[in-house]
Amino acid sequence: MKWCSSWSRLLAVSLWGLGISTGHCATTELKMLRVTTREEGGVTHFYVQNVEAADVTATFNMHLINLKGSTNFPYTTTFAGNQTVEAFALTPIDHDIPWDYSYDNAFTIGSMSAVHDDTYVYSLPYAPGSVFRVTQGYHGSFSHTGPDEYAIDWKMSVGTTVYAARGGVVVKSKDDSDKGGPDRKYESCANCILIQHSDGTIGIYAHLKKGGNRVKVGDKVSVGDCIGLSGNTGFTSGPHLHFSVFKTRSGKERLSLPVKFKSADDPRMTIVSGRNYKAAPIEVQQVKASAPLGNTVTEKARVGS
């Protein structure tokens, strides 16, 4: 059987190999899902354990001989974080003749049922009052295409404090790398933080500084919380912060989502490459983590001057 994780394609530019761990900085193979089988009365039951805190979406392609499935294939579904469930079962068509199966599988972090809240306005991911320049915005020709179509890069010195643009639950936190450069051999070396929002979408902050993450998996964060320090790790031509929001389509595909931001000068805008943006004071909004990651967190505050 063949396993394929598109977690390794979460950022084509900077996170290649994180799921499958075959890159320059990889040391061990990481699997988000573990599949086990059990036979009872001639029926083969497939169980899937999601070892991630986040939802993971998988697509199964089965190659069956004298078997029928309890579902149609290819079969795509989302498995909740830190849970083990029965995914499907295979039953012989004719019990008097041999049967066999093989399968291949692809999986990626996130939920296929997520529906982005388009009314939500994101905060700029840095300190209120500070100004940073966007070096690559939506549809950027260098790398913001396909699954990164709506990503944004801010030019940012190493060690700059990064703030949560939206609240949620931390589902991935990597900050063990100190390597980076303008070569694809560094793609798996990007440090990052992934936050799952209340609508099931995921925000990713990448190229962070080694040892700079201030959050861990399972932490609930509110908009404006300090989550880490910017860096220059992974496939990068210079220090910057990469941010994007996405949902999954299948075990092989994810969908990049356009989002609106608020700045000190505009309460609802689309980021444009080549412009400077000043962060506004942060209006902390209600954060409701999607089950089973956590409970509702409500805060009322105003941060910044």
**Could you read off the pLDDT of 60-117 as tens digits, one per residue?**
999 999 999 999 999 999 999 899 999 999 999 999 999 999 999 999 889 999 999 9
Q: Are 257 and 242 in contact (CB under 8 A)?
A: no
Q: Are 37 and 44 in contact (CB under 8 A)?
A: yes
pLDDT > 70: what percent of the chain?
80
Q: Where are the domains of the chain?
A: 2-109, 121-294
Beta bridge partners of 247: 255
Across 170-179, 248-257, 271-280, least confident range: 248-257
Q: Are 295 and 142 in contact (CB under 8 A)?
A: no
Query: Mean pLDDT over all residues of the chain?
Result: 82
Q: Under CATH, what is the fold of the domain 121-294?
A: Glucose Permease (Domain IIA) (2.70.70)
Residue linked to tokens 């929002």:
197
Rounded CA-CA distance 193/214 in Å is 10
| Model confidence band, residue 298 (pLDDT cutoffs 50, 70, 90) | very low
Rounded CA-CA distance 286/296 in Å is 8
Across 48-62, 126-140, 197-211, 239-253, least confident range: 126-140
pLDDT at 126 over 80: yes
Q: What are phi and psi of 7, to 5 degrees?
A: -55, -35
**Are both 2-109 and 121-294 of the same fold?**
no
SS3 of residue 239 by DSSP: coil
Tokens of 256: 């990049």
Q: Are 207 and 234 in contact (CB under 8 A)?
A: yes
Which residue spans within 75-176 are E strands per DSSP?
75-79, 84-92, 100-109, 121-123, 131-136, 152-155, 161-163, 168-174
Q: Are 59 and 105 in contact (CB under 8 A)?
A: yes
Rounded CA-CA distance 192/206 in Å is 4
Please report the pLDDT score of residue 263 as a whole number: 95
Domain 2-109 has what CATH class? mainly beta
